[in-house]
Amino acid sequence: MKREMDTCDKRMETIVITASFYDDIHKFVSSVGWDLIFGLNLLLRKPDGAWDPSNAEELMKYTVQSGYKMGGWELGNEPNNYGRKFGCKVGARQLVKDFHTLNSLLGEYPQFDDTEVLGPSVTQLSTDDYFQRFVNAGGGEVVTALTYHQYYEDGSVAKLEDFYNPYILNILYRQIQKGMNLTRAAGTKAKLWLGETSSAWRSGAPGLSDRYVAAFMWLDKLGMSARDGFNAVVRQSFYGGNYSLLDNETCAPNPDYWLTVLFKLLVGNKVLRVISPDSLGKIRAYAHCAETRKSGYPEGSVTVYVMNIDQSPVTIELPDFARNSPLHVYNMLPADDDLLSKFVLLNGKKLQMEDDKTIPNLLRPVKTTRTVLIPALSYSFIVVPDARLHCCM
């Protein structure tokens, strides 16, 4: 049996997060209603190779003393790449032991009883078997959610047509199934998260990952991961890199920002089954109980979102509902009919901030019945307000 090495050669650059910067993080997170998950430094090691939790303990004490709330803790980031990046190796079995140490530390603070514990946060599952070794060593018992990262391709070589190529989009499907199979085989009941994800690695594809065309990868990922049992998807990134939701120079919203906001307004957590199409071809559809608190739609409403990555328009019917059921349609197209546009049209209206703090009202659907036309290379949200679906009540 190959022995896992747990060594570091101390060639890493030291980066210090000050107390004032940590305060600013919490101030921002609290002001926008987010939950903070903090990534702890796994590369702080003892002479015997075990994780040194002293720095984490200092941080936790400060967090409690400051009255800050935490959404969760992550230990390490992409540990399967440590050897290549840092000349440091932390084996999967050792990482499980390190999580035991983390859990013991968290147990000293009742304030953290309900926080998430995330790991191993490896790179793509196709890279190596680190995730499998972590799970087989009991990793599913030391975390609340098993995490891995997912990107479709290398941002330095990505092409426009890749962003709506069914074969490339289906890379996610294969990786989801692999993750599900590995956890089932190990008998763990831990949740699965995409702990970091976007369109392309190397900070995204320049001129592509921040344009309208990137929405196909993002929306398909949200739908497919929810349908196949993933509890959370962590987007990379809000700011910074070519895949950011906000423009790096102006902070103006990129197209994926508007998609994300509309998704949050219309799509609830409960996933419904879509029989046709199969969502692996050029017409992809997903359905959820509608989000009612943010949208104002009545309980029992249903939201269906459809991607048409074909070159021709398609007509969508919802045969499970009455023929005269009102349908509220939110269609999103690129400005100037350009897939590389940094602006998106919602039912023909260009989406822009009204001022530095105010987003426009997105809940202005086109109302119709029976069928919905989805233009070529576009996506739509369709809400059925009077569906009165019992499981959504």
**Which pLDDT belongs to residue 3?**
39
Displacement of CA 355 from its chain's centroid (Å): 28
Domain residue spans of the chain: 7-271, 283-392
Query: CA 94, CA 99: separation in Å to the nearest integer?
Result: 9
The domain made up of 7-271 is a member of CATH 3.20.20.80: yes
Give me the residues paired with residue 117 across strands.
Answer: 73
Question: What is the value of pTM for the model shown?
Answer: 0.95
For 180-214, the pLDDT digits (tens) are 999 999 998 889 999 999 999 999 999 999 999 99
Query: CA 205, CA 213: separation in Å to the nearest integer?
Result: 11
Q: Which of 74, 78, 116, 291 is catalytic?
A: 78
**Which pLDDT belongs to residue 10?**
54
Q: Please give the full DSSP string across 305-362, using - where no structure is assigned.
A: EEEE-SSS-EEEE-TTS-TT-EEEEEEEEEGGG-TT-S-EEETTEEP--SSSS-----
Q: Which of 74, 116, 153, 196 is catalytic?
A: 196
**Which pLDDT belongs to residue 240?**
96
- Annotated catalytic, 161? no
**Which pLDDT belongs to residue 84?**
84
- Annotated catalytic, 13? no
| Low-confidence spans in the chain with pLDDT less than 70 | 1-12
Query: CA 179, CA 197: separation in Å to the nearest integer?
Result: 15
Alpha-carbon dihedral of residues 126, 184, 229, 317, nearest 10 degrees? Answer: 90
3-state secondary structure of 39: strand
For the record, the structure tokens of 51 come out as 């994780």
Fold of 283-392: Immunoglobulin-like (2.60.40)
For the record, the structure tokens of 17 come out as 């997060």
Sign of the four-CA dihedral 56, 61, 64, 66 = negative
**Cβ-based neighbours of 244, under 8 Å, separated by 6 or more:** 204, 210, 237, 238, 254
Going by C-alpha positions, the residue among 26, 38, 22 that lies closest to residue 234 is: 38
Share of the chain above pLDDT 70, in %: 97
Going by C-alpha positions, the residue among 339, 345, 332 that lies closest to residue 306 is: 332
Q: How many residues does the chain have?
A: 393
For the record, the structure tokens of 160 come out as 């426009």
Residue 297 identity: Y
- Residue 112 near residue 70 (C-beta atoms within 8 A): yes
